[in-house]
Amino acid sequence: MLKSFRMISLIEGLSLVALVCIAMPAKYMFNNPSLVPYVGMTHGVLWLIYLVMSLSASHNAKWSVGYWLFTLVLSVVPFGFIVLELQLKKSITAQEGSESPELT
């Protein structure tokens, strides 16, 4: 579950960066608002998927409410997904390291 959440976190974070660093400057600096509806809608849908998957990952990994709220804050901060990516990668590595194969 954490691997899936990690993937959607990366995609959602990149969509926020595209919205803030590409679509919005195109609208306000170059008077070209045509990208904003497409990038904005895509980001909105991805954020809703992120929200649902964060709840599921939170339940499965037994995160505290504070840590789950921290993941939500990181989802609305540009480049916040990088911080979450590093933490999720550590969690996944630790989780895989604790699973030792049974000898028969």
Specify the pLDDT at position 99.
Answer: 63
Residue range 97-102: mean pLDDT, rounded: 60
Share of the chain above pLDDT 70, in %: 93
Candidates 1, 18, 5; CA nearest to 72 is 5
Between CA 62 and CA 16 the distance in angstroms is: 27
In tens, the pLDDT along 40-87 reads 999 999 999 999 999 999 999 899 999 999 999 999 999 999 999 999
Query: How does residue 93 score in pLDDT terms, banded at 50, 70 and 90?
Result: confident
Nearest to 21 by CA among 85, 78, 81: 78
Report d(CA 96, CA 52) in Å as an integer: 24
pLDDT of residue 97 exceeding 80: no
pLDDT per residue as tens digits for the range 21-45? 999 999 999 999 999 999 999 999 9
User: Considering the chain, what is the average pLDDT of its residues?
Assistant: 90
Measured distance CA(38)–CA(67) in Å, rounded: 31
CB of 13 within 8 A of CB of 75?
A: yes
Q: What tokens appear for 75 in the block?
A: 């989802």
